[in-house]
Amino acid sequence: MRSDLLVRSATPRDAPAIHRIIDACAADGTVLPRDQEDITLAIPSFVVGVVRGEVVGCAALVTCGPSLAEIRSVAVSPAGRGTGVGAAIISHLISEAHFLRFDRLFLLTRIPEFFRRLGFRVVDPDALPDSFLSDLVRCQKRSLFNKFVMTRSLVNGPIDALGPGFAGAAGDAGVPAYPSRPDPASVETVPAGVLVGAAQ
């Protein structure tokens, strides 16, 4: 991993760069496209990878229930690929999820090999509650087609099922709930050359 990489919470000023990176990755179907207004509204959920002042990657952590969170919109710019940016961002979110006392993370992806290296495991989509699947398709306009459902346990125990407390990815008003960021002194940044919370 490059030594000049910094991972931090996103700010509204990062929204245009996040939008460009997600758009570029959406072209090959790696992630779903998101418009800049949506990204700006969701900015509290995002972290970014920065190299020499330039945003080169992003991902979002979204609360799905009392003990479960989803990692979304994982994207890295062409210049940042193959340099450990994506792994550092995911590892940062794993550490953040630990701090926020989530029991489990899950995500949808077309590249399971990358996430396996960070401790995620493929599970059957039937493990997702019907309420979440309905919200996924109807409200979020997302699909499981050609995607893998993956989970990572943050506590000791099995990771085959998503477990209790999975209320779906949207709140009562249909708006995703974003976790409060931990104290910046704890996991706000990933120091140069360090992977925080990576899988053993």
In the chain the domains, ranked by start, together with CATH numbers, are: 5-187 (3.40.630.30)
- Cα gap 158→152, rounded to integer Å: 10
Q: Which of 21-25, 95-99, 142-146, 147-151 has the lowest mean pLDDT?
A: 142-146
pLDDT tens digits, residue range 90-107? 999 999 999 999 998 988
Closest by Cα among 86, 197, 85, 89 to 152: 197
The SS3 call for residue 192 is coil
pTM of the model: 0.75
Tokens at residue 112, please? 């399971």
Helices marked H in 74-194 = 85-99, 112-116, 130-138, 184-187
* 193 pLDDT higher than 90: no
Would you say 90 and 60 are in contact if contact means Cβ atoms under 8 Å apart?
A: no
- Region 155-182 average pLDDT: 42
Instruction: Inform me whether the pLDDT recorded for 196 exceeds 60.
Output: no
Tens-digit pLDDT profile for residues 43-100:
999 999 999 999 999 999 998 878 889 999 999 999 888 889 999 999 999 999 999 9
The pairing of beta strand 148-153 with beta strand 121-123? antiparallel
In the Cβ-directed half-sphere of 40, how many Cα atoms lie within 13 Å?
Answer: 6
In what helix (H) or strand (E) does residue 99 lie, and over which residues does it extend?
Answer: helix 85-99
Q: Which two tokens stand for residue 77?
A: 């710019």
∠195-116-197 over CA atoms, to 5°?
25
Nearest to 133 by CA among 147, 119, 122, 112: 147
* Per-residue pLDDT at 133: 61
- Per-residue model confidence (pLDDT) at position 143: 63
> What does the chain come to in residues?
200
Beta bridge partners of 177: 63
Read off the tokens for 157.
């125990």
| Of 8-22, 24-38, 123-137, the least confident | 123-137
- CA–CA distance from 75 to each of 13, 54, 197 (Å)? 17, 14, 19
**Alpha carbons 16 and 54: distance in angstroms, whole number:** 12
On the question of pLDDT at 163 being above 60, the answer is no
